[in-house]
Amino acid sequence: MTVLTTLGLEESIRNHWGICVLAYVDHPDGEVWFWSGIGTMRFNGNDYEGVGRLGGVAPIGGSRTLGVRTVTFMLAGVPQEAEVWLNKNVRNRIARAWIAGMRPEGRINGEPWQVIEGRCDYQEIEPDGNGMAMIKLMIAEPIWSVERAQKLGMTPQWAKKIFGADVTGFDDIPGMRTKSVNWTQT
């Protein structure tokens, strides 16, 4: 099984330092940057607002089946009156999400792994019966995003760094990524 990740994320998982989800939405009312933690975190020149347990991105992960999936960005605990000022013109705006490894001191460890890039389709607001509501932003992931994983491969240097100096078998992978084979009758 091949797991695509970044060195920072892999190191954080291996050392049990924790992970988080980062998300970006090009919302018509202004860009939105949020993360799954609490408080504001500065990363790569952007201020990510923490949504803690009130926010989420689902589903995160991959599949071996070919298909266009819909990903939902969610934010709960919003006053129901928000529907009045919520801009509904989100269609075709860009949305992205990453999984990032954390350092023990609460900073992002290395580069996050981008798991979603798609276009906003629509948003809805669902009242919870207690005067609050949940905003759901539906993201349609394009079919070309299925190809991203096929263009990546573990290099011999990366494998040796992760598994040790005497690992073999990965040396041919970079050449196989660009190899072209023509089948002919003999």
Q: pLDDT tens across 45-57, in order?
A: 999 999 998 888 8
Residue 44's region, left for phi above 0, alpha for psi from -120 to 50, else beta, is left
**Total residues belonging to the chain:** 186
Between 153 and 133, the higher pLDDT residue:
133
Whole-model pTM over 0.75: no
Burial bucket for residue 22 (CB in 10 Å: 0-12, 13-18, 19+): buried
Percent over 90 (pLDDT), the chain? 27
Question: What band does 7 get if pLDDT is binned at 50, 70 and 90?
Answer: confident
Which helix or strand (DSSP H or E) is residue 32 part of? strand 30-35
68/146 Cα distance (integer angstroms): 9
Q: What pLDDT shows up at residue 102? A: 94
Average pLDDT over residues 70-74: 87
